[in-house]
Homo-oligomer: A and B are copies of this chain.
Amino acid sequence: MDITTFIGIVSGVFILIVAIFMGGGIGIFINIPSMMITVGGTFAATVINYPLPELLRLIKVVKNAFLHKVISPVDTINMLVRFAETARKNGMLALDKELKDIDDAFLREGMQLAVDGMDPELIRSVLEVEKVFLEERHSVGQGIFKAMGKYAPAFGMLGTLIGLVQMLRNLNDPSKIGPGMAVALITTFYGAMMANLLFLPLAGKLETLSQQEMLHRDLAVEGILSIQAGDSPRIVEQKLKAFLAPHLREGIKRRKAGEGGS
């Protein structure tokens, strides 16, 4: 589980609360109309901007993104190299019974197409289309959070404008200027906090996760086609290692030495 995201949110809120307490009580920072404008306005704008099914799916996307076990590209490469060895020794069909054990649906279905003997160009085209459209669906999720990160400060400012106008209109009593302005500013505070501690970092997180998954899929496509083309395990390994950061390549070299090549 991706615990750092929760740690980040919790510690960010905690730091702000502590800083607030060091300057006085937290009571003056709780204001229902300000919350209503910022939260309500942001969600209203988001509902206009995106179709409801996309918004509902976002919840699932976020849940998946944080609970889903990340599959290490090293493990995938090791598995693909093992497949290449099997395919070399016993033919592609020998891989058929191993496919059930693959966790990743994309890799499993792609290997299935290869084992079924589909044309390599067709496999690449099917997998590339699937990859491109997954990326587009991912970018919708990021887009929703980015839009919320843009609308939240805007509605924060709108709330502050409402508060300022109301305060300035009734300026008879100068002693009320300060508190009135304080209340007005709280809405800006809410909007900026929601954007910078929630929406924008979460959009960034989804982007990072999406990039990792895309790398993983590029790797899978390259591996599947390389195995189907009958490349030797060493070539498959060489091709796939290029996708890895140098410090991750250790994991592959060591394993290979322990297992022997073809």
Which residues of A are at the interface with B, using a C-beta cutoff of 8 A?
2, 4-5, 7-9, 11-12, 15-16, 18-20, 22-24, 28-29, 32-33, 36-37, 40-41, 44-52, 54, 105, 113, 118, 122, 125-127, 129-130, 133, 136-137, 140, 147, 150-151, 154-155, 157-159, 161-172, 175, 177-179, 181-182, 185-186, 188-189, 192-193, 195-197, 200-202, 204-205, 208, 211, 215, 222, 235, 238-239, 242-246
Contacts and interface: CB of A to CB of B under 8 A. Distances in A.
A179 B185 contact: no
Nearest to A203: B49
Determine the main DSSP class of A at the interface with B.
Answer: helix
B243 A8 contact: no
A133 B172 CA distance: 60
Number of copies of this chain that the complex holds: 5
A48 B136 contact: no
B40 A11 contact: yes
Contacts of A54: 208
A241 to B, nearest CB: 8
Given A185-B164, A205-B48, A239-B126, A33 B41 contact: no
